[in-house]
Amino acid sequence: MNNFGEKVNFIWNIANLLRGPYKPEKYGDIILPLSVLRRFDCILEPTKDKVLEKAKQVEIPELLNAAAGLKFHNKSKYDFEKLLDDPDNIAENLRAYIRGFSANIREIMENFDFDKEITKLNSNNLLFLVVKEFNKLDLHPEKVSNQEMGYIFEELIRRFSENAEAGDHYTPREVIELMVNIIFSGEEDVVTNPANISTIGDFACGTGGMLSVAENYIHKMNKEAEVALYGQEINDQSYAICKADMLIKDEGENADNIALGNSLTNDLHKGLRVRYGLMNPPFGVSWSKDSKEVKKEHKNQGFDGRFGAGTPRTSDGSLLFLQHMLSKMKTDKKGSRMAIIFNGSPLFTGDANSGESEIRRWIIENDLLEGIIALPEELFYNTGIATYIWVLSNRKNDDLAKGPIRKDKIQLVDATSFSEPMRKSLGKKRNKITKPQINRITEIYGAFQDNEYSQIFDKEEFGYLKVRIERPLKLNFKITEDRIENIYAENTFSKLFDEEKYKKLKKLSEAPEFKSKDKNKLEKLEAGKKLQDKILNRLRANIEQDKVWKNRKEFKEVLKEILGDLDLKRSLMKAVRNGLAKRDETADYCKKRGKIESDTDLRDYERILFSHKVEGYKQDYSDFVEKEKDNIQTYFEEEVKPHVPEAWVDYSYTRVGYEIPFTRYFYEFEELEPSHKIKEDIEKLEAEINEIMQKVLG
């Protein structure tokens, strides 16, 4: 087995031994931990005897690690070869072998929860067979590099995760490479400087693919460059693979920087700031189970915590991960640069003043959003949906000598056409981005120019004012049978008597154990029915079929004369009046305390672009809205009033919103063919159909 494909297929064929006792989606629970175990087995093989000899003298883990020349060791007498010497006791011996590892490896195996699988494999007479097959596989670093081992894990995970959670989308390697290219574009002098330590974080790190690719990118430019990797992962198995990978390479320097836990509710890297960040949080996954703790942090800590800008709806936590990642930015002169993958939802979900819009406002007004790249569809293994890379920086370039000036600008790149179909689909992944295409997208992004693939905007382009437009309430009133029936639609009137509740309570009243509180409810309903009847009877006695009142104030007096002695509550009198009303453009304005009342059914909203620059972020945007009043009034006079002369702007309402309607900026209008050409095509088709029908019918 000399190539990557042969090794993957060999391991995949081992998985076929599990058919029967295991469902295909559970194969990974056995194959992945055994792949990790075999990798460690091969790495430790050259120093095995030396470690065993040392273990006879001391029990100090650090000295045993030193004997192995690694950050881990195994002091048991077993390895894969020796396990096969005693088939009858292989389960017990395999457990002893795992117990012989240093604590960091034991923790990895515990997170795989592999011990229970040993029992199941052994009871199904599969354990010996599986270990025997793995023993044929040489995974020593001299035969399989760390990078190739990463690819093997990646491919196995992809195959085993085809039935994974809808939001748990494994990141294809070429997408990671593009993200890495983008965040390091223009940073070559920084990352290769021996005096610098490049700190890289991924706080939804999965198996560590993004961290590994970023590290490899830097080491290709400078083998001696110092790189510190930090990650956090919620899934036990993914964490175990990531930590195993970190232990194997770079002498295990970064392994302790990988944490197991929920990044949203338990930040295990508090206080950490990194120079570069990469993340692919789960798409559109609910955070409702975390809402109590997240909202508590938002309320109690505000901007001193991670979620000061706001919280999105609980159906999608993407923008929480974004805020968490941004909290890890360095605040020194160099700052940080980060990239995160989202689906389309964070671009536009949420109206003005919503949690999502406020988070976008905070990011854009703080000039943290550098650009967004739209990726081709069908790139991911478990979803074909549209995806986007958001590029973020808190130190945008403002010096022309150092490159394009990005300060206060946002770049959109349409890379949806940069892909090629795969010869064979992998799950829902039907397309791939080739190396030349990755380089081309990176060039387009780095050039920072307007063209067919790239557009540059002032950051204010994505903000808008949501303005409420009111129209006057104008009603006429009649006392007719039809309008009397409409009174039942008014909640205040209809809830006086609920027939279903009345029947139920009436039936209960016949029982000896009828409770006094139920008796009170019954009496209240009976009183309500009597009051309804009185109101309706009075109105029916005053029906005037042709009489119309077009002034509400006058009609109030009429109604008071008819119903005044019933001593109705104001809310009930209003309900009766509303039932007898109908919208009428010829009627007088309805007024309240001398002011024209608005018709909420005719209420409308307009979105108006900003006319002023946004000078930094302020949580309270009322001053900015005040500055925009002339802009709002001009828009209203030109765009609204000519069509609705009686309308007015409700300035007490105005909201500020932000959204990024990406596709709108790259939409290409396709002109329809002339009508005569369409007619000719239809006539041609009709003639062809007639000819076919004549042949069929003879």
pTM of the model as a whole: 0.86
Say if residue 456's pLDDT is above 90.
Answer: yes
Cβ 199 vs Cβ 218: under 8 Å: no
pLDDT value, residue 166: 36
* Pick from 260, 276, 279: nearest CA to 268: 260
End-to-end CA distance of the chain: 67
Percent of the chain with pLDDT over 90: 75
Say if residue 489's pLDDT is above 80.
Answer: yes
Beta bridge mates, 200: 229, 276
pLDDT tens, residue by residue, 198-207: 999 999 999 8
The mean pLDDT value for 337-358 works out to: 97
**598-604: long-range contacts (C-beta < 8 A, 24 or more apart)?**
598/470, 598/471, 598/472, 598/473, 598/650, 599/470, 599/471, 599/472, 599/473, 599/474, 602/470, 602/471, 603/468, 603/469, 603/470, 603/471, 604/468, 604/469, 604/471
How, if at all, do strands 369-374 and 409-414 pair?
parallel
pLDDT value, residue 1: 55
The full 3-state SS of 541-558, as one line of letters, equals HCCCCCCCECCHHHHHHH
pLDDT value, residue 541: 94
Where does the pLDDT of residue 192 fall: very low under 50, low under 70, confident under 90, or very high at 90 and above?
A: confident
The contacts of residue 412 (CB under 8 Å, 6+ apart) are 371, 372, 374, 454, 455, 457, 660, 662, 665, 666
Taken as a whole, the chain contains a residue count of 698
Helices (H), 375-498: 435-447, 481-486, 491-494
Question: How is residue 562 written in tokens?
Answer: 């008819």
CA distance 505 to 522: 6
pLDDT tens, residue by residue, 54-100: 999 998 999 999 999 999 999 999 999 999 999 999 999 999 999 99
pLDDT value, residue 627: 96
The mean pLDDT value for 349-365 works out to: 97
Say if residue 169's pLDDT is above 60.
Answer: no
CA distance 14 to 135: 11
The mean pLDDT value for 464-468 works out to: 98
Say if residue 589's pLDDT is above 50.
Answer: yes
CA distance 117 to 100: 18
For 50: left if phi > 0, alpha if psi spans -120 to 50, otherwise beta; the answer is alpha
Question: How is residue 418 written in tokens?
Answer: 């940069």
pLDDT tens, residue by residue, 246-304: 888 766 789 999 999 999 999 999 999 999 999 999 888 999 999 999 999 999 999 99
The mean pLDDT value for 355-369 works out to: 98
The average confidence (pLDDT) of the chain is: 92
pLDDT value, residue 384: 86
* Pick from 499, 500, 492: nearest CA to 535: 492
CA distance 598 to 469: 9
pLDDT value, residue 25: 80
Say if residue 37's pLDDT is above 90.
Answer: yes
Where does the pLDDT of residue 164 fall: very low under 50, low under 70, confident under 90, or very high at 90 and above?
A: very low
pLDDT tens, residue by residue, 519-574: 898 899 999 999 999 999 999 999 998 999 999 999 999 999 999 899 999 999 99
Q: What is the CA radius of gyration of the chain?
A: 35
The contacts of residue 193 (CB under 8 Å, 6+ apart) are none
pLDDT tens, residue by residue, 381-429: 878 889 999 999 999 999 888 889 999 999 999 999 999 999 988 778 8
